[in-house]
Structure 1
């Protein structure tokens, strides 16, 4: 509605109220007559206003129709070409491990975009396959070959979305995506995983064993007192038994540290458990019942029994070694072979801390004509080893 029409309607509304009032006062009409006249005039003004509004709306519709008819027609969007497909099977794809490849398969769908411009590609199917495989390689190359099933779902989600090649010649997507790993490679990965788990378990067990050895060697068996305290901590209600085991614990502590039994506890160690020789001589007060054997290259002592030793106890022990060598050696073997065996026995006693007795063995079996060489390890004899320190 225009501005002039609005002013006209306002003037008519005012006149519809004022004119009946003036006439009623001049002619002295009753007040209800004034009201009736004013209401009739206001109704007429309202009807006229509605007519003006309808005329204005019709005018706006005519103008909009004219403008729409004058606007140029928008061309309709071209319909996209129907998609075409190509089947892919047994295509190798890289994985995060250089020597392991996935086996990829899919149905590749492609079409020329509706808004494509320029000359169409000469081989759109090959371009579509190349575009899709490039994307598949990027995804698969970052994945471990052991998770082929999970990677297959990831590829299906990524390749199912429509994408264009870099130049906009084709739109492509994939369906029925499959991804597997050759059976031999899957078996290798399984075995490698088992080896890694076994190796991890072995390292844990080794570390546990080392911890136990360090605990026993550095704390529990550091000395006899530590061993006794450790036993009491585990058996706190058995003090008398702890006193009985002091000799055994002293022997264990000395063996763990590679030292001799402390003199303070030596009288608590049973005589049958003490070393058969000290400084190459048998212990006084013990008689030697020597029944040694060679087992896996190590010489084991026999049992000791209480009794009197003969005056030539050292020579008696040497005679037992001589008898042992005679038992282990045949009569046809040469003297050099017997000397080598004697040298090995001497080396075993030497490593056990019996340097003097080992030297006695070497003197007994050395060649009188070449005694110095026999002592130095000639003719196959094993030279003396340095005695182990007591610390």
Structure 2
């Protein structure tokens, strides 16, 4: 019988005695009834104890059963901020995960071990095999790859347990991530600049090797630009001849010099070669004037933003042909450097010149 049952029986016996005493006083029991009541209150609990002991018997409690239950063995461990190498030197991953394991049955003579340490070491080795072969620019993709590779139980090297990992997180150090972002921006800018340079070179080759190769090519190009209006193109022959000679830094052919004279309002020389005056030397100033006349004729007058842009492209084309003096003269004429007075005024006002 347990202690709780004994306490309950004693409590009920005392309570019953009190109730019977109250009833006896109210009913005025005879004097001989009170000794009988006292005997019953002593005999009945003793009989109950005896019967309960005979039914349950004596059950000895072992010493081991009185000890506190053994603690539950831990089977997981959280790993935080462990550095793992990547494919690039000096760029490391930062690894975090929850490591889980279970022990393999071992003989009684097996050495005492720390299962958490073995499991963590096994997971880090498996993770390193993957991270040291991956570039750090895609850390989130490597994180998903690790989640799949470490999501199954696998035996560790000593064979004492099997381990896996979950809740994996793989990131880069903040400073390294910022450096990689800057490098990516620079690479993108370089690609854009390379395409722009290639485009400019292509346009210059087109103008120099095709459009302005000679006066005939320039006439054909200008004819297509003017919707095959022959009369308009014929009127611009003198300007095309000047533009071609300026682009190639050569003299205007003698057969076209009379067109230049007509445009300037000078009398045309007779068609006798010995009577024609020698052609004027073609210097940087002449090339600049011819280019200016041509731009005026096609509507790119002073103040038009397209005028210095086209002149700069032609100057670059001439510079590629090693005619630096003519190219610099054209550049200086159509896009002169800012005067010191404008620089002082811009620095005083605080706004940079465009």
TM-score by length of 2: 0.52
Q: CA–CA distance in 1 between the matches of 2:148 and 2:244?
A: 68
- 1:235 corresponds in structure 2 to 226
- 1:333 corresponds in structure 2 to none
Q: CA–CA distance in 1 between the matches of 2:225 and 2:108?
A: 90
| Selected match of 1:171 from 162, 167, 182 | 162
Deviation string 1:50-74 (CA, Å, 9 cap, x unpaired) is xxxxxxxxxxxxxxxxxxxxxxxxx
- 8 Å CA contact 2:85–2:92 kept in 1: the answer is yes
Report the CA distance shift for 1:144/1:177 in structure 2 as closer, same or farther (over 3 A): same
Deviation string 1:109-141 (CA, Å, 9 cap, x unpaired) is 223213679724634322221111011111112
- 8 Å CA contact 1:104–1:180 kept in 2: the answer is yes
| Selected match of 1:101 from 66, 79, 92 | 92
Q: CA–CA distance in 1 between the matches of 2:279 and 2:249?
A: 24
- 2:37 corresponds in structure 1 to none
The 5-angstrom pairing of residues 151-166 of structure 1 reads 151-166=142-157
Q: CA–CA distance in 2 between the matches of 1:267 and 1:300?
A: 16
**Residue aligned with 2:251, SS:** coil
Q: CA deviation at 1:271?
A: 4.8
- 2:250 corresponds in structure 1 to 259
RMSD, aligned α-carbons: 3.4
Q: CA–CA distance in 2 between the matches of 1:116 and 1:264?
A: 111
Q: CA deviation at 1:244?
A: 1.3
Report the CA distance shift for 1:101/1:285 in structure 2 as closer, same or farther (over 3 A): closer
Deviation string 1:78-98 (CA, Å, 9 cap, x unpaired) is xxx955222211111122222
Deviation string 1:235-283 (CA, Å, 9 cap, x unpaired) is 23311111111111111111211212222222323559xxxxxxxxxx9
Report the CA distance shift for 1:84/1:265 in structure 2 as closer, same or farther (over 3 A): same
2:131 corresponds to 1:140: yes
For structure 1, the residue ranges without an aligned partner over 5 or more in a row are 1-80, 273-282, 287-297, 305-349, 354-391
Q: CA–CA distance in 2 between the matches of 1:164 and 1:97?
A: 30
Q: CA deviation at 1:147?
A: 1.6
- 8 Å CA contact 2:249–2:287 kept in 1: the answer is no
Q: CA–CA distance in 2 between the matches of 1:300 and 1:285?
A: 12
- 2:198 corresponds in structure 1 to 207
Q: CA–CA distance in 2 between the matches of 1:213 and 1:92?
A: 53
**Residue aligned with 2:255, SS:** coil
Q: CA–CA distance in 1 between the matches of 2:243 and 2:289?
A: 18
For structure 2, the residue ranges without an aligned partner over 5 or more in a row are 1-71, 266-276, 291-323, 328-354
Q: CA–CA distance in 2 between the matches of 1:303 and 1:193?
A: 47
Report the CA distance shift for 1:94/1:226 in structure 2 as closer, same or farther (over 3 A): same
Q: CA deviation at 1:148?
A: 1.6
The 5-angstrom pairing of residues 372-387 of structure 1 reads none
2:75 corresponds to 1:84: yes
Q: CA–CA distance in 2 between the matches of 1:230 and 1:271?
A: 24
- 1:196 corresponds in structure 2 to 187
Q: CA deviation at 1:196?
A: 0.8
More relative contact order in 1 or in 2 (CA 8 Å, sep 6+)? 2
Report the CA distance shift for 1:227/1:82 in structure 2 as closer, same or farther (over 3 A): same
Q: Which deviates further from its counterpart, 122-131 or 250-259?
A: 122-131
- 8 Å CA contact 1:116–1:169 kept in 2: the answer is no
- 1:129 corresponds in structure 2 to 120
Q: CA deviation at 1:299?
A: 9.2
- 8 Å CA contact 1:83–1:110 kept in 2: the answer is no
2:222 corresponds to 1:222: no
Q: CA–CA distance in 2 between the matches of 1:300 and 1:214?
A: 23
Deviation string 1:15-43 (CA, Å, 9 cap, x unpaired) is xxxxxxxxxxxxxxxxxxxxxxxxxxxxx
Report the CA distance shift for 1:118/1:142 in structure 2 as closer, same or farther (over 3 A): farther
Report the CA distance shift for 1:118/1:249 in structure 2 as closer, same or farther (over 3 A): farther
Report the CA distance shift for 1:129/1:255 in structure 2 as closer, same or farther (over 3 A): same
2:177 corresponds to 1:186: yes
